[in-house]
Structure 1
Amino acid sequence: MDMPTALTSVEYCDLPGWEDGDPGPVLDGLRRCACYTSAVKPYRTGAFGLAVEDFRSIFDDAQSAGALSGLAARRFFEDRFEVFRIDAPGHVTGYYEPEIEVSPHRTDRFRYPFYRRPDDLVDLDATNRPRDMDAAFPFGRRMGDLIVEYPDRRQIDEGFLDNRGLEIAWAESRVDVFFIHVQGSARLKFPDGSVKRITYAAKTGHPYTSIGKELLALGVFRPGEATMTAIRDWFDRHPDRIEDILWRNRSCIFFREALVYDPSAGPIAAAKTPLTAMHSLAVDRRLHTFATPFFISAPELTHLTGAPFRRLMLAQDTGSAIVGPARGDIFVGSGEKAGELAGSVNHQAVFYMLAPKVAAGRYR
């Protein structure tokens, strides 16, 4: 099998801090993935070749094992998985679930909408993608018998979706809406005290453009300075530049909505299971299969846990900016504090993939 990048077999004793970690939350997440794949459908197999069937006996064991922590949880993984270091430069960022005040109707204060998925947006694959459309586009617009590129962020901001009843709620700040597009989910707080959660449903299909990199190229920031907080502060000082900068990212996100029944639970992510703060990871879905455990070692990332970040995580999400075999986005949690922490995560890391023993022979 041709691998997207080289892998090196290592032992658990080679994982920095493994013996001090508690992978119990990852086992809980694995159990939820097991429920989804058995009740609904398997996850798509990534280019590394791990299929849900490779996890089937582990899913069964996770269901019967119940809640485990500490040593017992570590032994669960040691008995069923082999470890492979991904031999590519690793990089982690952080994301979170924002909480913002919204209105169910447009007002003078609340003017910027979150949209549901339009009915003319279609998923694209090799069977229906027009020959002249970039193969990287996962979505397009159906117009009669034709499929064309969907209007981009600027066209939508300028009214393309007006009067179609797609607005879930209205926010006070265009910048807030943009960053929730980047995060992929949010908790919306309505004037009557109710809370609704929105999560990613689809996107226009245009490639993601990092506005941090755009501002870096413009000389606004030096390398390492373009955190979410710094970008927000810059927009506060330069409101006349907001549209120009945001429209450079042509990708626009659509959402689905749900009530918040359990405030302690994370949002439902691309793997269709709730995220767990500090234990859920967004990965490149083209390469990796959801439910794959990864051990992440980022020695210089210390502000999340008060110590070098070294822990087992579970692939449960993806994102437009998450590209490459050793690229991950750490789910930090919900709310303002989580946002402050997530916005400062931009660190080198070493990625270790845990492959079920039944499949490990493919990677040696």
Structure 2
Amino acid sequence: MSRKNASQFSASDLVQKIDFEEIDGFSADDFAAAFAAFRRSATIIAADAKEQRSAVPPPQSLIPVAQRALEGVDDPAQFFRRWFRPHRIRAKGFVTAYYEVEVEARLSPAPGFVTPVLSRPLDLVTLNEAPLSLPSGESLTSARRQADGALVPYPDRRAIEEEGAAPSAHPLAYVRDPVELFLIQVQGSARLRLPDGGVMALTYAGRNGWPYTSVGRLMIEQGLVKPADMSLDLTKETLRKLGAGPGEAGRRMMQENRSYVFFEIDRSEARGIGPIGGQGAPLTPFRSIAVDRSIWCYGLPFWVAARIPWQGEAETEFRRLMIAQDTGSAIIGPARADLFFGAGEAAGRRAGDIRHPAELIALLPKDVGDGP
């Protein structure tokens, strides 16, 4: 895939060039925090390192910016003003939020801990560049490679759970129930608390390729939850009330989401900083976002402005420079962003309440020869 120039973004109907002075609250942000997050992306961009979940390549003009960031800067605010131009995204903006799950777990089956967290199967092939097209019109981003080399659809969630249809995947740990596992898979990473006080970090290692279906949306459509009441806690409560055992209604509802995520144990230094996003960089609370990887490259800064309950139950102003470092199956569209809120129950409660309109402004790198 050829690299894009920043001018190819700005010349499209997707964005409108504006001045930094038009961004309300921009000068009041903590640019040192934003720059620290950007620098982690810059390490990957400058090295042309492999991304964990491939996205459109960064434009050529972003590469010298990344290299400059790695040299260090004295004034982070001036860095962003010097190397980028803001462009308002024309589409209607919408943000949600996500977090890193922290749950109790066991390394082997134990009373109350019988749901396995599975490793990536040996026969799973990721097809980001050339998805597998089905007669139904669906496109699968992963597939099963058979012994003869042929690619076929990987079994869906129900087959994996009920028929053991991923036999080469092995349990990494065991959590309390399928609802706990389901939420770990939706978030894409987790910290598992073990009985000896130790913590084991899980990182996304691939998925079966089937399209993602929102269980929250299914609950609303079936009249189980009112849209205004939807939250992460209510989702878990509803699924458990419906029943998460084999054949029970809650389990069947989760299986409507045919997508199934696999993990790996991650003891890397980067993982110690935070969960690893789609780019391969550790995520920073309230500075990292997930974007549509078919539209935006990783490492781009985005100004996000919204009124959301991010500090408590009340909606307050959120105006921050965020860095695109992750992606997600449900993050679709140019002005769609998922805000990373950090780890643990408190972060989860706040993240689950975020479904709000927002203004998104992309900071696109200046092309070579473009003046300061």
Same fold (TM over 0.5): yes
* Range with bigger deviation, 317-326 or 152-161: 152-161
Q: Does 1:348 align with 2:357?
A: yes
Give me the whole-angstrom Cα distance separating, in 2, the residues matched to 1:210 and 1:360: 45
Pair 265,110 (structure 1): closer, same or farther in 2 beyond 3 Å? same
> Which residue in 1 is equivalent to 2:4?
none
Q: Does 1:303 align with 2:310?
A: yes
Q: Deviations over 1:250-293 (max 9, x none)?
A: 10001121137689721111111110000000000010000000
Pair 184,125 (structure 1): closer, same or farther in 2 beyond 3 Å? closer
Corresponding letter in the other structure for 2:311: L
* Range with bigger deviation, 300-309 or 347-356: 300-309
* Range with bigger deviation, 275-284 or 101-110: 101-110
Corresponding letter in the other structure for 2:159: Q
> Which residue in 2 is equivalent to 1:212?
216
> Which residue in 2 is equivalent to 1:138?
141
> Which residue in 2 is equivalent to 1:253?
261
Give me the whole-angstrom Cα distance separating, in 2, the residues matched to 1:128 and 1:11: 39
Aligned residues: 353
Asked if the contact 1:267–1:274 (Cα under 8 Å) also holds between the matched residues in 2, the reply is yes
Corresponding letter in the other structure for 1:169: A
Alignment of 1:99-138 (within 5 A): 99-124=102-127, 129=132, 132=135, 134=137, 136-138=139-141
| Pairwise CA distance, 1:201 | 1.2
Asked if the contact 1:195–1:259 (Cα under 8 Å) also holds between the matched residues in 2, the reply is no
Pair 125,99 (structure 1): closer, same or farther in 2 beyond 3 Å? closer
Give me the whole-angstrom Cα distance separating, in 1, the residues matched to 2:138 and 2:368: 30
Corresponding letter in the other structure for 2:335: A
The counterpart of 1:241, out of the listed 246, 249, 254, is 249
* Range with bigger deviation, 282-291 or 237-246: 237-246
> Which residue in 1 is equivalent to 2:63?
56
Q: Does 1:225 align with 2:229?
A: yes
Q: Does 1:37 align with 2:45?
A: yes
Pair 354,254 (structure 1): closer, same or farther in 2 beyond 3 Å? same
Q: Deviations over 1:80-113 (max 9, x none)?
A: 1000000001110010001111111122321111
SS in 2 for 1:103: coil
Pair 269,141 (structure 1): closer, same or farther in 2 beyond 3 Å? same
* Range with bigger deviation, 2-11 or 145-154: 2-11
Q: Deviations over 1:9-31 (max 9, x none)?
A: 11112112111111222211222
Pair 207,356 (structure 1): closer, same or farther in 2 beyond 3 Å? same
> Which residue in 2 is equivalent to 1:194?
198
> Which residue in 2 is equivalent to 1:317?
326
Asked if the contact 2:88–2:362 (Cα under 8 Å) also holds between the matched residues in 1, the reply is yes
Q: Does 1:95 align with 2:104?
A: no
Alignment of 1:153-164 (within 5 A): 153-161=157-165, 164=168
Give me the whole-angstrom Cα distance separating, in 2, the residues matched to 1:355 and 1:293: 8
> Which residue in 1 is equivalent to 2:5?
none
| Pairwise CA distance, 1:220 | 1.2
Pair 357,121 (structure 1): closer, same or farther in 2 beyond 3 Å? same
* Range with bigger deviation, 240-249 or 174-183: 240-249
Asked if the contact 1:113–1:171 (Cα under 8 Å) also holds between the matched residues in 2, the reply is yes
> Which residue in 1 is equivalent to 2:16?
8
Asked if the contact 1:282–1:330 (Cα under 8 Å) also holds between the matched residues in 2, the reply is yes
* Range with bigger deviation, 192-201 or 124-133: 124-133
| Pairwise CA distance, 1:130 | 6.1
| Pairwise CA distance, 1:234 | 1.8
Report the RMSD for the aligned CA atoms in angstroms: 2.5
Pair 195,262 (structure 1): closer, same or farther in 2 beyond 3 Å? farther
Asked if the contact 2:121–2:167 (Cα under 8 Å) also holds between the matched residues in 1, the reply is no
Q: Deviations over 1:176-211 (max 9, x none)?
A: 110110000000112222211111111111110000
| Pairwise CA distance, 1:238 | 2.6
| Pairwise CA distance, 1:301 | 1.0
Where structure 1 has 5 or more consecutive residues not aligned to the other structure, the ranges are: none
* Range with bigger deviation, 287-296 or 99-108: 99-108
> Which residue in 1 is equivalent to 2:178?
174
| Pairwise CA distance, 1:37 | 2.9
SS in 2 for 1:168: strand
Pair 218,177 (structure 1): closer, same or farther in 2 beyond 3 Å? same
* Range with bigger deviation, 157-166 or 50-59: 157-166
Corresponding letter in the other structure for 2:322: M
SS in 2 for 1:308: strand
Give me the whole-angstrom Cα distance separating, in 2, the residues matched to 1:242 and 1:359: 55
Give me the whole-angstrom Cα distance separating, in 1, the residues matched to 2:162 and 2:12: 40
Asked if the contact 2:46–2:67 (Cα under 8 Å) also holds between the matched residues in 1, the reply is no
Corresponding letter in the other structure for 1:344: D
* Percent of residue pairs identical: 33
